Amino acid sequence: MRWHSPVPYRLIPTDDSESFRASFAEWATGLPVFPHKGAFAVPRKFHVHEGVDIYVPEGTRVSAVERGRIVAISPFTGLHALTPWWEETWVVMVEGPRGVVAYGEIVPLSELSVGDLLAAQDTVGHVKRVLRVDRGRPMSMLHLELHVHGTTRCEDWKRDDPPPPSLRDPTPHLLNAHPHLLTPEAMDPEQAWGNQTSPYIFIVS
């Protein structure tokens, strides 16, 4: 069963960490693939990146990529998560057919609780600004992780250590995801690019 895009944008694969500077279509954004700094398993200063960062504006709706049950709603960044150098955000973990999907750096819908059932494309929450200091890069994003069944917390992947046993790469599922219902090609199939070349597509080397 294919995932659905978690954000109302067409996901354009890119390995360029500066791709956010490109003139994407209004309804498109980059999907980081290695060695993009936002891609899965890319080494950083103190850790290895545990998920995929999808750069979108603060307030962007985040929806479930597949059906599932909420197994955790937890602080993700900020003082309440013992990382005060970031703004406060949360993570919602939803267990479905492919495993446990973690939707991080968001504000969950206030009515959601652990144990709730979600259908594919139900709203999970909205993206929240995570970076405190503007250094000329995107300051808000959906951080998405994939874990094996039974996982209820996100663990750090420290440099020079093996990955947490529960962690899996969500990239193949995102690359193959159905377009979000709010993108033009989903609302009108005749607008789909098909085999046409789009000026917004980045070639992944």
Burial of 29 (C-beta count, 10 Å sphere; 0-12/13-18/19+): buried
pLDDT (tens, 9 = 90+) of the chain, 205 residues, equals: 899 999 999 999 999 999 888 756 678 999 999 999 999 999 998 899 999 999 999 999 999 999 999 999 999 999 999 999 999 999 999 999 999 999 999 999 999 999 999 999 999 999 999 999 988 889 999 999 999 999 999 999 999 999 999 999 999 999 999 987 666 544 443 433 333 333 223 222 2
The CATH code that applies to domain 10-17+25-184 is 2.70.70.10
Give the model's pLDDT for residue 175.
97
Give the model's pLDDT for residue 189.
38
Give the model's pLDDT for residue 192.
36
Give the model's pLDDT for residue 139.
94
Q: Considering only CA atoms, which of 81, 137, 132, 138 is closest in space to residue 104?
A: 81
Give the model's pLDDT for residue 193.
32
- Sorted by sequence, the CB contacts under 8 Å of residue 195 that are 6+ apart come out as none
Q: Where are the domains of the chain?
A: 10-17+25-184
Count how many Cα atoms sit within 13 Å of the Cα of residue 9 in the half-sphere of its side chain.
22
Q: Considering only CA atoms, which of 176, 169, 9, 147 is closest in space to residue 68?
A: 147
